[in-house]
Structure 1
Amino acid sequence: KWVVFIIVSWPSVADLGFTIPAGLESELRLKSVQFFVTQRPWLDLYGKRVKPVAAFGSTSNKPYVDPALIHRCLPDELLFEVFARMSPYTLGRASCVCRKWRYTIRNPLFWRNACLKAWQQAGMVENYKIVQSRYDGSWRKMWLLRPRLRTDGLYVSRNTYIRAGVAEWKVTNPVHVVCYFRYMRFYPSGRFIYKNSSQKIKDVVKLMNFRASKGDCVFTGHYTLADDRVEAALMYPGLRPTVLRIRLRLRGTTAGANNRMDLLSLVTSGLDDNDVNAPEEDMLGVVEEWQDDETHNPDVPAISHKRGLTPFVFVPFEEVETSVLNLPVDKMDYFVPG
């Protein structure tokens, strides 16, 4: 067997018929030397295995070198304090950064504080019993699997209906697509804020607080959460006070999301003078044992509403300005005549 070597010689600059000035040629050589001499950190990783970073509080005695500069400059104690001031959803994003952060964020202390704050109505003793009996003592598992109402944004229900317009010259018969929203904001203390408006979410979010005036038509009420069922009630003040009773079912598109609420029933009933004098925080307790068709004011009959029961969608505060719910009707709805 024969081995044939083929040598290919590329023409030099002189063979091409023109010359390069001496100054430029020396500069080109200098750049070539700098390219091969320059230290390139990523080239040092070839053929080497980066050792995994030990978890925070690990009992392993094996020495390791942390390759990340932030971990060399930031002590573990300060890193723990930074994570302790993050919200649970921010912790979830931070755990995707690196292995050390993921192990550190799995510390039960972070998730215990989040769970006790989210279900503070149940009390500390009851929460400890639930985490031991249902979630194997894991606070993080309890946070992901137990239904809870989110307080870092608004629940929005977008409703539309068709209204016939006035015919013009018997040629056109216009129709109008009417769009309105139901907004709900929940607080861990058991109170919530409700508003029914045609305004977009980016304009309403600044009004959804306890400092809103009466002209903003923002109402406050009280709610309870039992498993995935939400019972809420609020009072519409006026000459004929009316109570609004809301029943909801909480669910999520993914585990721990809790970003959807199905509107099971929406009932309005009349109140008498004794009910009106009750404190606002006790309104849910006043109507707790009422039937759906029960009213305490003959002038205000009990009505179970069948329209406007579109499920609620959760929108975090940081996504209010960019939410698709701000789009106009002509970009989100269509109507087929016939």
Structure 2
Amino acid sequence: MTSDYALKIAAELESASRLRTAQFLVTQRPWLDLYGINVRPVAPFGSVSREPSVDEALIHRNLPDELLFEIFSRMTPYTLGRAACVCRKWKYTIRNPVFWRNACLKAWQLNGVAENYKILQSNYDGSWRKMWLLRPRLRTDGLYVSRNTYIRAGVVEWKITNPVHIVCYFRYMRFYPSGRFLHKISSQKVKDVAKLMNFRTSKVDCMFSGRYTLSEDKVEAALLYPGLRPTVWRIRLRLRGTTAGANNRMDLLSLVTSGVNDNEVSGPDEDILGLVEGWQEDETHNPDVPAVSHNKGLTPFVFVPFDEVETSVLNLPVDKMDYYVPG
């Protein structure tokens, strides 16, 4: 007779033999083959240390560096930023200071070339790209939009209901590098107004033009409302961005309207900003039009690029977005 101890040992040996014959599924890890392989970085375009090499990418073999450089020179800085994410070669090529120098001189052309070079050396270590990212500037590739809402009482019927309505209107501003800007107040959505914000339609679509100045992050703008009693519209803004180089927000610091004499201005195209320079906020030159400092409708401006006007959330109706937080 076999003992219980012997039966127990035999059962354990049988289970161990089954483990030796079992086949386990091993997960393949192909990325482990990449360890220890050194990838040689691509030298920047035009570098003296660049050695001739064969690029495996088809677009780089068929597109010469000179032609690639010419294509990049015709792009906007924001398009260059997207192109830099394509590959390493494009990233180093786009860091060429020629692209960023042209963009900076165009963005701050009111300061003059000599002043821009002085600011470049003193504040940005001679880097045009760093200057583009860190120096406040007004964007010209879209619209600055301020969405304002207020509650208005409706008509009371039979003293049973007391309806109220949420009224929504927008302030639109488009800036140009030459120091001019367009302003429009409308209840139309962004996608409908974007196609009208130009000087060709400014006189027939209740749009007004004026002048602005930019000093660091402060913007001062003024325009003239023509009519029987000409009125000067003055606004002060502070430029900021949600990320470095975005410049996609403007805080409205003050908004003042005041009167002006007929003999002081000759038309809406006059440099009205130079005329009101040094005026106090409560100063008016026409007693029939008192100076008024407005404290409503001062919602911050949000920048909407032209390629995003159709999909912007600012196009949503009031019943879907009663209030908008610019951030």
- Are residues 1:227 and 2:191 paired? no
Cross-structure match for 1:93: 82
- Are residues 1:321 and 2:313 paired? no
Cross-structure match for 1:53: 42
Cα shift at 1:55: 2.1
Q: 2 CA distance for matches of 1:279 and 1:5?
A: 94
User: Partner of 1:280: helix, strand, or coil?
Assistant: coil
**Partner of residue 172 from structure 1, selected from 161, 167, 177:** 161
Instruction: Structure 2 unaligned segments of length 5 or more: list them.
Output: 1-15, 24-29
- Are residues 1:200 and 2:189 paired? yes
CA RMSD between the two structures: 2.1
**Partner of residue 104 from structure 2, selected from 90, 106, 115:** 115
- Are residues 1:146 and 2:135 paired? yes
- Are residues 1:305 and 2:307 paired? no
Q: Is the 8 A contact 1:51 1:65 kept in 2?
A: no
Q: Deviations over 1:81-135 (max 9, x none)?
A: 1100000000011111111111100101000000000000000000000000110
Q: Is the 8 A contact 1:185 1:208 kept in 2?
A: yes
Q: 1 CA distance for matches of 2:54 and 2:242?
A: 41
Tell me the amino acid that sits aligned with residue 270 of structure 1: G
Tell me the amino acid that sits aligned with residue 120 of structure 1: Q
Instruction: Structure 1 unaligned segments of length 5 or more: list them.
Output: 9-41
Tell me the amino acid that sits aligned with residue 252 of structure 2: L
Cα shift at 1:62: 4.6
Q: Is the 8 A contact 1:53 1:66 kept in 2?
A: no
- Are residues 1:287 and 2:270 paired? no
Q: Is the 8 A contact 1:53 1:64 kept in 2?
A: no
User: Partner of 1:231: helix, strand, or coil?
Assistant: strand
Cross-structure match for 1:265: 254
Q: Is the 8 A contact 2:258 2:291 kept in 1?
A: yes
- Are residues 1:243 and 2:232 paired? yes
- Are residues 1:187 and 2:166 paired? no
User: Partner of 2:157: helix, strand, or coil?
Assistant: coil
Q: Is the 8 A contact 2:43 2:50 kept in 1?
A: no
Q: 2 CA distance for matches of 1:294 and 1:46?
A: 72
User: Partner of 2:254: helix, strand, or coil?
Assistant: strand
User: Partner of 1:300: helix, strand, or coil?
Assistant: coil
Q: 2 CA distance for matches of 1:213 and 1:104?
A: 40
Q: 2 CA distance for matches of 1:270 and 1:199?
A: 28
Tell me the amino acid that sits aligned with residue 214 of structure 1: K
Cα shift at 1:57: 1.7
Q: Deviations over 1:128-157 (max 9, x none)?
A: 000001100000000000000000000000
**Alpha-carbon distance change, 61 to 287 in structure 1, aligned in 2, over 3 angstroms:** closer
Cross-structure match for 1:163: 152
Q: 1 CA distance for matches of 2:146 and 2:109?
A: 26
**Partner of residue 65 from structure 1, selected from 46, 54, 67:** 54
Cα shift at 1:61: 5.5
- Are residues 1:79 and 2:68 paired? yes
Which TM-score applies when normalising by structure 1?
Answer: 0.84
Cross-structure match for 1:11: none
**Partner of residue 92 from structure 2, selected from 65, 82, 103:** 103
Q: 1 CA distance for matches of 2:191 and 2:264?
A: 35
Cross-structure match for 1:39: none
Q: Is the 8 A contact 1:234 1:243 kept in 2?
A: yes
**Partner of residue 126 from structure 1, selected from 95, 112, 115:** 115
Which TM-score applies when normalising by structure 2?
Answer: 0.87
Q: 2 CA distance for matches of 1:305 and 1:7?
A: 83
User: Partner of 1:234: helix, strand, or coil?
Assistant: strand
User: Partner of 1:206: helix, strand, or coil?
Assistant: helix
Q: Deviations over 1:194-230 (max 9, x none)?
A: 0011111111111110001533101000000000000
Following superposition of structure 1 onto structure 2, how do residues 7-18 of structure 1 map, counting pairs within 5 Å? none
Q: Is the 8 A contact 1:51 1:64 kept in 2?
A: no
Q: Is the 8 A contact 2:223 2:268 kept in 1?
A: no
Aligned residue pairs total 299
**Alpha-carbon distance change, 163 to 326 in structure 1, aligned in 2, over 3 angstroms:** same
Q: 2 CA distance for matches of 1:311 and 1:203?
A: 21
Q: 2 CA distance for matches of 1:188 and 1:276?
A: 24
**% identity of equivalent residues:** 78
Tell me the amino acid that sits aligned with residue 235 of structure 1: L
Following superposition of structure 1 onto structure 2, how do residues 206-225 of structure 1 map, counting pairs within 5 Å? 206-225=195-214
Tell me the amino acid that sits aligned with residue 311 of structure 2: T
Q: Deviations over 1:235-261 (max 9, x none)?
A: 001111101001000000000000000
Cα shift at 1:5: 6.7
**Alpha-carbon distance change, 282 to 136 in structure 1, aligned in 2, over 3 angstroms:** same
User: Partner of 1:288: helix, strand, or coil?
Assistant: coil
Cα shift at 1:170: 1.8
Q: Is the 8 A contact 1:261 1:312 kept in 2?
A: yes
